[in-house]
Amino acid sequence: MLPFLIAGPMVRLATPQTVCIWLATSNANPCVINLLNHQHDIKQDVLQLGEHLFVRLIHLTPVQACFPTDELIHYQLNISQNIDINAFCYEGHDFPAFVIPHKIESLFHGSCRNPHHPSDDSLICADNYQNTQRSEGSIGTQLLLLSGDQIYADDVAGPMLQAIYQLINTLGIYKETPLNVDLSDDINQQLYHRANKLPVTPWQDRSKRTLGYWLKKDLVHFTSAKSENHLIGFEEFVAMYLLCYSKQAWQCINIDLLTFKSTNQQIQKCFDSEKKMLLKFVSGLHHSQRLYANISCLMMFDDHDVTDDWNLTANWEQNIYQNPVSRRIVANGLISYWIFQGWGNDAGQKSGLFKDLMISSHIDERWHFDTLDKEIFQFSYWHYEIQCEPKLVVLDTRTHRWRNEHNFDEPSGLLDWEQLSLLEQNLIGEEGVILISPAPVFGVKSIEAIQSLFNICGHPLLVDVENWMAHEGAARKLMNIFKRADTPVETLILSGDVHYSFCYSVQARFSQRDNRIWQLTASGIKNQFPTKLLAMLDTLDSCLYGSKSPLNFFTKRWQMKVSRHPVSHNDKKHLMSLSGISLIKLKNGKLENYEILHGNGETTEFVL
């Protein structure tokens, strides 16, 4: 018998005017959420994604005035089937609870959670921290901000792909109209060979100005180095999200069937290692589920939620969107992002139009996404802001790219002029702002210099040239914004993406006002940069771009003074590789403490 609760409850947008709680169930039986000691109205949006899969976004609005802020609000699930609510409760509490943040004093931030990466899942540490705080009578951390790569659609473990197909069959997840991809009906025959079936541009159709034409090398559309098991169908994206979010989803999986035998020893070793790491990830999922149920969680996509290098260059876009199969795969990533992430970010206020389009796309037990694809690619409101103190501004740096009009192979700017102007308006006149930028605005200069070299050699995709300084126009506009005297007294930029963590403070060199920018980078939640290589790059950065180095004046941000902050136990170490999630504490809207809770239980604090 299937469990009623397949995923969730997950507290999403929580404001004084509305609270949204997301969950997925195996049937359409009534499911009501009640806030204890608070009168409210309830509205429920439901999407049926399979014979036994119903995704729900429950909206709670106050009957009078507003919900209280900065205090615990407990809630209960009223459903027709018994579930163990204790699994979602912290010690000393009979019900799960969350906080509607107004004056932010503490928050979690992180990105990049790869289920089969050998590093430890730091959401477990975040949950344990929150449990300790709640059991001691504190509200704990008020917000969980996830700035990208909640799934890795382009880097899927072999046993995960097997589990995905088990879940599709068990829940009867509706499939889309078959794509023109020559895949075997046997999932085991697809393992580690999918990349060979993904679309390419034949070398004959490539520009004669490229080296690839003369080398007679086809241009692959999906540029991930680990695309052997890349997600393709919409139903696969749906199952992937459920398996990354939920312990209950894994109750539908027969672990004994996650087996694979290959004559290729390297592939066999890879499968066995991935299975070991994946089972360790599954064993800790109850921690992340409990955390999701007890804290308002806001999200933003980055590339791996859809595919590696998503919209990195204009040429990448041109190749992908002109091919119907490649375009469909990207659309599947974007539609699934809306269902499992974007819908709860704005309570459907702008993205809610996709609900009716989803319902009308289901015809004769198949998804037909022609109309929805058109609308979702034109949608321009993935970014959002929350009116708290400091104000929270979340940037969409993937779908508003500033393309290089002279060379389509050059990296695009992360925001176009219109969105940069909107960012400027969001900053002007504010006392403080928390800015979510999936990629760091002020990154490690030595690494950015190496990326520039690869870009000059014509290989921006090889090293993911995803930094703000890679596009001349976007970099200049952004630096001019931060130089303004009427921008916030303190801006906290929270970023991930790079798989290492660091803390920089930034001030304009020639400003008449003491404005400070903090670049707080935390990555990854379950991913990490090679430790020895990062140590070398840290040393290189200190040598080449120290505070007195003249090389600083040859960078695009030379008018900004960037100070690197060391870790507390080693004043020569500025970059941390261990998987982790950041714990950020504020006092009167100003940064008071920045530390990383590592997946292995250790803690790193940066000297401010």
Residues in a beta bridge with 604: 596
Q: Return the minimum-mean-pLDDT range out of 448-452, 482-486, 558-562.
A: 448-452
Mean pLDDT across the stretch 461-477? Answer: 70
- For 512-539, what is each residue's pLDDT tens digit? 667 899 999 998 999 999 999 998 888 8
Q: Are 493 and 546 in contact (CB under 8 A)?
A: no
Q: Return the minimum-mean-pLDDT range out of 367-371, 387-391, 457-461, 584-588.
A: 457-461
- Provide the pLDDT for residue 512: 60
Mean pLDDT across the stretch 7-14? Answer: 97
- For 85-121, what is each residue's pLDDT tens digit? 889 999 999 999 999 999 999 999 999 999 999 999 9
Is 223 within the bounds of a domain?
no
Query: How big is the CA angle at 151 (ends 145 and 155), to the nearest 5 degrees?
Result: 140
Q: Crossing angle, helix 234-245 and helix 324-337, to 10 degrees?
A: 30
DSSP-derived pairing of the beta strands 97-99 and 72-79 = antiparallel
- Provide the pLDDT for residue 596: 97
- Provide the pLDDT for residue 482: 86
Q: How far apart are CA 497 and CA 303, in angstroms?
A: 9
Is 473 within the bounds of a domain?
yes
**DSSP output for 130-191:** HHHHHHTT-----EEEE-S-SS-TTS--HHHHHHHHHHHHHHTBPEESPPS----SSHHHHT
Number of domains in the chain: 1
Nearest to 148 by CA among 422, 341, 390, 391: 341
Question: How does residue 484 score in pLDDT terms, banded at 50, 70 and 90?
Answer: confident
Q: What range defines the domain where residue 480 resides?
A: 105-134+382-608
Count of beta carbons in the 10 Å neighbourhood of residue 481 = 17
Nearest to 171 by CA among 115, 255, 244, 235: 235
Q: Are 477 and 414 in contact (CB under 8 A)?
A: no
Is 517 within the bounds of a domain?
yes
Long-range CB pairs of 276-282 (<8 Å, 24+ gap) are 277/115, 277/116, 277/117, 277/118, 277/157, 278/115, 278/116, 278/157, 278/159, 278/160, 278/163, 279/255, 281/115, 281/116, 281/121, 281/526, 282/247, 282/250
Q: How far apart are CA 580 and CA 606, in angstroms?
A: 13
CA Rg value for the chain: 23
Q: How far apart are CA 223 and CA 154, in angstroms?
A: 9
Is 421 within the bounds of a domain?
yes
Q: How far apart are CA 77 and CA 293, in angstroms?
A: 11
Give the global pTM.
Answer: 0.95
Is 34 within the bounds of a domain?
no
Q: How far apart are CA 473 and CA 125, in angstroms?
A: 40
Residues in a beta bridge with 581: 597
Q: Pick the residue with more confidence: 469 or 196?
A: 196
Mean pLDDT across the stretch 124-138? Answer: 97
The amino acid occupying position 421 is S
Is 417 within the bounds of a domain?
yes
Mean pLDDT (the chain, rounded): 91
* pLDDT of 145 over the 80 cut: yes
Q: Are 65 and 546 in contact (CB under 8 A)?
A: no
Mean pLDDT across the stretch 151-165? Answer: 98
Is 541 within the bounds of a domain?
yes
**DSSP output for 404-456:** -SS-TTSBPBSS-HHHHHHHHHHHTT-SEEEEE-SS-SS--HHHHHHHHHHHH
Q: How far apart are CA 91 and CA 133, in angstroms?
A: 10
Measured over the CA atoms of residue 75, residue 598, residue 300 and residue 141, the dihedral's sign is positive
- Provide the pLDDT for residue 556: 57
Structure tokens, 393:
């501004």
Q: Return the minimum-mean-pLDDT range out of 254-258, 397-401, 508-512.
A: 508-512
**DSSP output for 530-575:** -HHHHHHHHHHHHHHS-TT-GGGGGSTTTTEEEEE--BTTBTT---
* pLDDT of 451 over the 80 cut: no
Mean pLDDT across the stretch 127-132? Answer: 98
- Provide the pLDDT for residue 79: 83
Mean pLDDT across the stretch 479-506? Answer: 92
Mean pLDDT across the stretch 290-299? Answer: 98
Instruction: Sort 580 into a burial class: Cβ within 10 Å, 0-12 / 13-18 / 19+.
Output: buried
Question: How does residue 324 score in pLDDT terms, banded at 50, 70 and 90?
Answer: very high
Q: Return the minimum-mean-pLDDT range out of 23-32, 481-490, 574-583.
A: 481-490
Is 363 within the bounds of a domain?
no
Most confident of 235-244, 551-560, 562-571: 235-244
Q: How far apart are CA 582 and CA 585, in angstroms?
A: 10
- For 409-427, what is each residue's pLDDT tens digit? 788 889 999 999 999 999 9
Compute CA distances 166 → 251, 252, 367, whole Å: 11, 8, 19
Question: How does residue 432 score in pLDDT terms, banded at 50, 70 and 90?
Answer: very high
On the question of a cis peptide bond just before residue 390, with omega within 30 degrees of 0, the verdict is yes
- Provide the pLDDT for residue 463: 47
Question: How does residue 428 score in pLDDT terms, banded at 50, 70 and 90?
Answer: very high
